[in-house]
Amino acid sequence: MSASSARTGNTTRSTRRPSETRPGAPIRPIRSVADHRAALAEIERLMHARKGTAEGDRLDVLATLVEAWEARHVPIEAPDPIAAIQFMMEQKGLTRRDLEPAIGSRARVAEVLNKRRALTLPMIRALGPLLDLPVDVLVQAYPVRVPL
């Protein structure tokens, strides 16, 4: 070690928070992207913790903090209404024929699902409960292909 470095000491500081480096350190609020990344890394490390243990409790608290931070900082846009309908049809094992009471004839169902006809308010009111979709997802604007 040189004489000058002995006088000045170590001038490099860690940018990590204490809770990032030591498992079991106090949990702190997530205030930045770096804090978020550190919390996600800690969650990954704790992913197989048993419920009711100290590590399991730590996992629950960290997951809650991350969820709250992401709700404020990482907004999720509403899905395309037709994509949401198709997803829920697949999840529920429904066919196009099952949508006929809510949308109309077989041709009308095809037009809506192929984005050649927009959803109407009566269709939206019927599809919401049928597919367990919130109405605010179904009323989103989406491009409709106009035939030439």
8: in domain: no
pLDDT at residue 17, rounded to an integer: 47
pLDDT at residue 21, rounded to an integer: 41
Overall domain count for the chain: 2
56: in domain: yes
Task: Give residue-wise pLDDT tens across range 4-15.
Answer: 444 444 444 444
**58 and 93 belong to one structural domain:** no
**Across residues 59-78, what is the average pLDDT?**
90
Q: Token pair 């959803």 is at which residue?
A: 119
Distance CA 24, CA 45 (A): 12
pLDDT at residue 74, rounded to an integer: 87
131 is written with which tokens?
A: 């597919």
> Where among 57, 73, 89 does a domain terminate?
73
**47 and 86 belong to one structural domain:** no
**55 and 98 belong to one structural domain:** no
CATH number (domain holding residue 109): 1.10.260.40
Higher confidence at residue 22 or residue 110? 110
- In SS3 terms, 52-100 reads as CCHHHHHHHHHHHHHHHHHHHHCCCCCCCHHHHHHHHHHHHCCCHHHHH
**31 and 47 belong to one structural domain:** yes
**62 and 93 belong to one structural domain:** no
Task: Give residue-wise pLDDT tens across range 127-140.
Answer: 999 999 999 999 99
104: in domain: yes
Q: What percentage of the chain carries pLDDT values higher than 70?
A: 82
**85 and 130 belong to one structural domain:** yes
What is the domain extent for residue 107?
Answer: 81-138
